[in-house]
């Protein structure tokens, strides 16, 4: 009896110990990830603006000057304009990219045609190369299309590249029973009707997931806009922030935080759909 009690007590102690260790590790990991964010937030409220006037690791004095100048001092650094530029590019890329990705995934999932497998393999292999590999080629092509220094040049690239990552969406469409398509077709529905009226309403999670990923890439991309945008008035936030002067660190931090807000809000609102989309897309029927 005593032995049994001791075993139970030992098991309890072990459980408590396990929980304690797990939480300790979680706290440390959370701190490692959270601390830089917190530091950036505090830095954005630095009164002096320069990183070199900090009192040790944190700002010596706090204020809202960086946020104020971010939106009012626009002679050299027009943050509101950069923000709107980024919003325009990201939104348009999101809409066009989502449509193209969904259509690609649907075709690959539902239709059987010659060279389908070859195309799938090719896109899979091409997707393994980092996108910046083709930077010079893209630049030269854009010069020929007269799309340098134009937002539509960027939108075209982002939208055109988006369907390359159609695999998750295809996985999702694969989970939708083909019998739905067949039933609809027997009732006289065309391919387009089947897609719009039957498949899309069932695909809300993957649509949200696709739209979000198509939005976040152009929202935070640096390499392409840095290469293609020359006029400062056309800059995106990422490029604009990098052009800030050496003594403008607080403004840089404030700008970084402000640009993160819309994406954080979007994530919180749509996280449920995202998880559903990712989970469903990962399952192969």
Partner 1 sequence: MKKTLPAIIAHAAVILALILLMGFLGVIAAGVAAEGSEKFTGELERNVTLRILENDTAKEQGYLKELLEAFNKEYAGYGIVAVDANMDQYTDLEMGGPYGYGPDVLYQANDALMKYVDGTRKHILPVPVEKLDCYAHVDDNAWDAYKVTIDTQEFVCGVPVNIQQPLLYYRKDLLPENWETEWDDDRNGVPDMIENWCDLYRYSQLIRQQSAGSKYGYMKSLNDGYFASGYFFSYGGYVFGGEDGKDTTDVGFSKNDGYLGGKIIRQLASVMNLECTEDTITKNSYSRMAQGAYFATMTTPDVYTMFLKEMVLAGYTEEYAKENLVMTSVPKLPVSGDLEDESQGFREMTVMGGVNGYAISSYTKAPNAALAFVNFATSYNMINRRAELLGISPARGDLAETLGGLNATINENLADGTIYVMPSVRALAQVWTPLQTYCAVLADDALTGKNAYVTDDALKKGIANVDSQIYAAIHTLGGA
Does residue 74 touch partner 1 according to CB under 8 A?
Answer: no
Of the candidate residues 245, 279, 282, 283, the single one contacting partner 1 (CB under 8 A): 245
For residues 132 and 150, what is the distance between their CA atoms, to the nearest angstrom? 19
Residue 145 Cβ, how far from partner 1 at the closest point, in Å? Answer: 11
Interface characters, 13-52, with partner 1 (x: CB under 8 A): -----------------------------------xxx-x
183 is written with which tokens? 């039933």
Which own/partner contact pairs does 104-109 have at CB distance under 8 Å and 24+ positions apart?
104/163, 104/166, 104/169, 105/163, 105/166, 105/167, 105/168, 105/169, 105/170, 105/172, 105/173, 106/169, 106/173, 106/195, 106/199, 108/166, 108/170, 109/170, 109/173, 109/174
Q: What is the DSSP letter of 271?
A: H
Q: Which is nearer to partner 1, 110 or 232 (CB)?
A: 232
Residues constituting the chain: 285
Rule CB under 8 A: say whether 135 interacts with partner 1. no
* Of 47 and 110, CB closest to partner 1: 47
CA 58 to chain centroid = 30
Say whether residue 149 binds partner 1 (CB under 8 A).
yes
Q: How far is the CB of 149 from partner 1 (least distance, A)?
A: 6
Q: Which is nearer to partner 1, 230 or 261 (CB)?
A: 230
Q: Which of 13, 143, 190, 193 lies at the binding interface for partner 1 (CB under 8 A)? A: 143
Interface with partner 1, residue 233, by CB under 8 A:
yes
Strand segments (E) across the chain: none
Q: Does 231 bind partner 1 (CB under 8 A)?
A: yes
């Amino acid at each position: 009896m005593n032995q049994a009690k001791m075993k139970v007590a030992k098991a309890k102690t072990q459980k408590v110990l396990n929980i304690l260790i797990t939480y300790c590790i979680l706290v440390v990991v959370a701190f490692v990830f959270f601390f830089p964010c917190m530091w950036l937030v505090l830095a954005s409220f630095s009164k002096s603006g320069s990183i070199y006037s900090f009192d040790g690791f944190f700002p010596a004095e706090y204020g809202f000057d960086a946020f104020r100048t971010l939106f009012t001092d626009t002679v050299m650094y027009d943050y509101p304009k950069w923000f709107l530029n980024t919003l325009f590019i990201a939104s348009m890329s999101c809409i066009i990219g989502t449509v193209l990705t969904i259509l690609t995934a649907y075709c690959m999932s539902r239709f059987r045609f010659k060279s389908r497998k070859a195309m799938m393999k090719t896109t899979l292999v091409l997707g393994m190369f980092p996108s910046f590999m083709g930077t010079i080629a893209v630049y030269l092509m854009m010069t020929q299309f007269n799309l340098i220094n134009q937002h539509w040049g960027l939108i075209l690239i982002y939208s055109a590249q988006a369907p390359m990552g159609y695999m998750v969406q295809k996985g999702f469409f694969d989970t939708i029973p083909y019998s739905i398509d067949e039933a609809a077709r027997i009732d006289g529905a065309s391919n387009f009707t089947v897609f719009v009226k039957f498949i899309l309403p069932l695909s809300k999670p993957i649509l949200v997931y696709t739209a979000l990923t198509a939005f976040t890439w152009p929202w935070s991309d640096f390499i392409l806009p840095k290469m293609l945008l020359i006029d400062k008035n056309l800059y995106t936030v990422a490029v604009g922030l990098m052009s800030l002067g050496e003594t403008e660190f607080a403004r840089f931090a404030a700008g970084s935080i402000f640009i993160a807000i819309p994406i954080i809000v979007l994530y919180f609102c749509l996280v449920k759909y995202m998880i559903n989309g990712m989970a469903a897309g990962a399952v192969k029927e």
